[in-house]
Structure 1
């Protein structure tokens, strides 16, 4: 493992998510890297504050899923101290949104974890890069100054939250406990524009909880719909919406 790789492990080490060998390597790295040592201390402090900021009791298994996924979420190399102070101030202002982002990290990175055991190194890097790109886009959306959140239960079970930013022109669906659909059907997302449903992507049918960035811009859209469609999706809805969440 290179020194550059070690710089990216501060978050995973701070919450004890590294394997024994990686943890030993990183502890040696901390003895010679003051920036990483400082960042680990700050991340542990922030993790404690995030825990206090969330009043709701987390669902069973959430901690394990988040800790297992953290190694796949990209960390930036240590920034100069002035930048770190600026970031800490921003974290304090946006703690509720970062708490949601931390919970989502597990679902975003779960595909990358499975790839490690099943694919070659090249394909691992490709899929990991895709997961990182998704995480970057979602993080930008969650922390947008005008980010809005709409939550609703779905007919048949599960809940969904639409996160949107008019300034960014983007929206994402954060879903939890979606029931598995019968007959190879899939959950499809839609932008509602003046009563017309426009396809905006599919939900990963392999996961009951996770997130999906909607394809296309939010311009002119007044809501996001969720339907159950035949495998591969449909150009127009074939059934009544399971949920319609206003933007």
Structure 2
């Protein structure tokens, strides 16, 4: 592995996606390359912030129910995992922060599904985990699309957002960080802009200040993505001026 190859592994190293041999070789490279060391720190910080954005606090009674159910739960056999070798391309380097976001969402979703079967609570948790894993897989595929475009801006009032779009997949996502918390009666809403006419495209999860949301509908014909603060449940048309309007 040459030095040029090593420079492309910062994101994979930050996410723990390298083999033991590659990780050891890259760790030696980090000791001599301040640019890669800084990039790794930034990826790890981004991953941590996004993980916090989707984390859930378990209810206080969950531990008691789990302990009571342990005697009724059959132990599962070890899961056999096959190592996968993924080719690395230099063009992915500028997308690693967004791939890190997707990986965080996948990791948070899987972590949420590790609770023991505590009957009704466990069933609800499994449903939430399945939906979160599906959203994370769709987001990951969008971020890695060859024709994916990325547009970032600051929002009025605080925070930043990035619109990721793929014409080939017909999907759009809004990756956000540091959004100010809104009152319980308000929610962030996303819109497709068609030459000034706004079409609803989904809501940002209430109370979430950092994370990623897949927009509903296709971006075909849209020239921009708007973000507004709307009454709880969303609106059929914007009730306030956009906090941001990004090209798509």
TM-score range, shorter chain: 0.5 to 0.7
TM-score, normalised via structure 2 length? 0.67
TM-score, normalised via structure 1 length? 0.67
- Asked whether the 8 Å contact 1:53–1:95 carries over to 2, the reply is no
The residue aligned with 1:78 is 82
Provide the rounded CA distance (Å) in 2 between the counterparts of 1:207 and 1:107: 13
The residue aligned with 2:92 is 94
Relative distance call for 1:221 and 1:137 in structure 2 (3 A) is same
Give the CA deviation at 1:175: 0.3
- Alignment pair present for 1:154 and 2:155: yes
Relative distance call for 1:191 and 1:64 in structure 2 (3 A) is closer
Aligned residues: 204
SS, match of residue 232 in structure 1: coil
The residue aligned with 1:226 is 227
Relative distance call for 1:141 and 1:242 in structure 2 (3 A) is same
Aligned with 2:20 (options 29, 38, 41): 41
Relative distance call for 1:45 and 1:234 in structure 2 (3 A) is farther
More helix by share: 1
Relative distance call for 1:116 and 1:235 in structure 2 (3 A) is farther
- Alignment pair present for 1:52 and 2:36: yes
Give the CA deviation at 1:105: 3.4
SS, match of residue 236 in structure 1: coil
Relative distance call for 1:130 and 1:197 in structure 2 (3 A) is same
Give the CA deviation at 1:124: 2.1
Relative distance call for 1:131 and 1:77 in structure 2 (3 A) is farther
- Asked whether the 8 Å contact 1:66–1:105 carries over to 2, the reply is no
Relative distance call for 1:64 and 1:160 in structure 2 (3 A) is closer
- Asked whether the 8 Å contact 1:151–1:160 carries over to 2, the reply is yes
Provide the rounded CA distance (Å) in 2 between the counterparts of 1:235 and 1:218: 18
What residue ranges of structure 1 are gaps of 5+ in the alignment? Answer: 1-10, 16-37, 70-75
Provide the rounded CA distance (Å) in 2 between the counterparts of 1:126 and 1:220: 34
Alignment of 1:42-191 (within 5 A): 44=23, 52=36, 55=39, 58=42, 62=46, 64-65=48-49, 77-78=81-82, 84=85, 87-90=86-89, 92-106=90-104, 110=108, 113=111, 120-182=121-183, 184-191=185-192
- Asked whether the 8 Å contact 2:110–2:133 carries over to 1, the reply is no
Range with bigger deviation, 51-60 or 189-198: 51-60
The residue aligned with 1:29 is none
* Alignment root-mean-square deviation, CA: 4.0
Larger radius of gyration: 2
Give the CA deviation at 1:220: 0.6
Provide the rounded CA distance (Å) in 2 between the counterparts of 1:215 and 1:239: 21
Relative distance call for 1:113 and 1:204 in structure 2 (3 A) is farther
Range with bigger deviation, 115-124 or 203-212: 115-124
Provide the rounded CA distance (Å) in 1 between the counterparts of 2:41 and 2:198: 36
